[in-house]
Amino acid sequence: MKAEDILQYTFNHGHPIQVRYNDIDLAGHVNNAVYHEFFDLGRTFYFKEVLGEKPFTYEQNIVIVQSNTTYVKEVFLEDELQIVSKIIRFGNKSFDMCQALLRNSKDGAELTTYNYTTFVCMNYKQHQPQQIPAEWITKITEFEK
């Protein structure tokens, strides 16, 4: 997917991101590995808001099976950022999330990075994938309308 296609989505969830001094590398921009921490933070707040305070248990959890990140523009220490998140597909045992890191600018939100992640619903006690709970699908679908 192209960068311009990302903003076709309506993102109902956003969370501010603070760039820390230790996120910056010798080139003066955010190191590529740090972006995944930003995406993790966005996912954490998304699931907490949509599914409840503690949505995951040992018997009912998720695991990342694929993650694809595209870097569009550099991010710097003083940038004001927001991570936006949206679930864009459900399967029986898996689902996909799209996330974008946006920089606040005088012209509005500017896309800096985006990520697609595929999750599988997992029972860690049995070490087996499982169907996505119907309650999760209902709550997420309602939220994403």
Mean model confidence pLDDT for the chain: 94
The packing angle between helices 134-144 and 32-51, to 10°, is 100
Mean pLDDT of 109-123: 96
Contact 94, 86 (CB under 8 A): no
Chain-centroid distance, C-alpha 13: 10
> Which of 38, 133, 31, 35 shows the shortest CA–CA distance to 90?
133
What is the pLDDT, as a whole number, of residue 108? Answer: 83
The more confidently predicted of residues 42 and 3 is 42
Contact 30, 24 (CB under 8 A): yes
The answer to pTM > 0.95 is no
Quickly state the pLDDT bin for 1 (edges 50, 70, 90). low
Mean pLDDT of 43-66: 95
What is the pLDDT, as a whole number, of residue 8? Answer: 80
Residue 133 pLDDT > 70: yes
Mean pLDDT of 93-122: 94
Ordered domains of the chain (ranges, CATH): 3-144 (3.10.129.10)
